[in-house]
Amino acid sequence: MSSIETKQQQVEATLRLAPVVPVVIIDDARAAVPMARALVAGGIPAIEVTLRTPAALDAIRAIAAEVEGAVVGVGTVLTPRDLEHARQAGAKFAVSPGVSPKLLAAADDSDLPLLPGVATASEAMSLLERGYRHLKFFPAVPAGGHKLLGAWASPLPQIRFCPTGGISLTSAPEFLSLPNVVCVGGSWLTPVDKLKSGDWAGIEALAREAAALKAR
C-alpha cells in the first residue's frame, strides 16, 4: 500500500467521524480546550483549527494534549512550513484551500494526511492522478454549490468531497444528500460571540444539531 493511499484512508476515517467538521477561527488559545470539549460532547470529534490567527498553533497543541476524543486538524495550510508546524503541534490532519506544487511535494514527504482544496473539475482530476480520492470543495457555495458538486458525481465517481465555504445548518442537508459527499465543513458551530463569551453549552448545543444531520 502506498503512503498516499494510507494517508487517504486516514483522511476518510476522520471525515466519517461526523457529518460536520467545524472550521474554527480562534483568537485566544485559552478557549481551545473548553471549546473542543464542548464539540466532542456534542458528537463532533474532528475539529479543523485554521491558521488564520497567531493563537492557532497553541490551540492545536492544547487540544491535542488535553481533549480526549478530539481529532484536531489544521486548516488554511498554504506552505510546506505550515504543514510541518501543524505536524509538530500535534495535528492529525491538514486542510488546504487549494494546492501548489511545493505544498503537494511536502505532503508527499510528510506523515500528516492532507485534504486539499479544489474548485474545478480539472483541479480534482489532477489530484486524482496523484492518488487523492478525498478532497475539499472550496469555496463551496460561491464556486457553484451543491448543484455543481452533484454534477461531478457521475464523471468523477472515485472522488469524495468535504464541501466547505458558505454552508450553514440549513443548507448542509443539500450537500450531505449527494452521493459524493462524505461530510461538510462549517464555521457556524463556533461563532465568534460564543467563543468570546465562553458559551460552551451553546457550542455543545450547536454541535448536537450538526451531529444529528445525516450524510448519504
What residues are annotated to the active site?
Answer: 48, 136
Q: Which ranges of the chain would DSSP assign to H, the alpha helix?
A: 3-15, 32-41, 56-66, 80-89, 101-109, 121-129, 140-143, 145-151, 172-176, 192-197, 200-211
CA–CA separation, 159 vs 150, rounded Å?
12
Q: Going by C-beta distance under 8 Å and a sequence separation of 6 or more, which residues neighbour residue 177?
A: 146, 216
CA–CA separation, 47 vs 92, rounded Å?
10
Phi/psi of residue 206, each to 5°?
-65, -35
b/e code 52-63 from CB counts within 10 Å (16+ = b) = ebebbbbbbbbb
Is the separation of the CB atoms in 184 and 158 below 8 Å? no
3-state secondary structure at position 109: helix
Q: Which ranges of 53-199 would DSSP assign to H, the alpha helix?
A: 56-66, 80-89, 101-109, 121-129, 140-143, 145-151, 172-176, 192-197
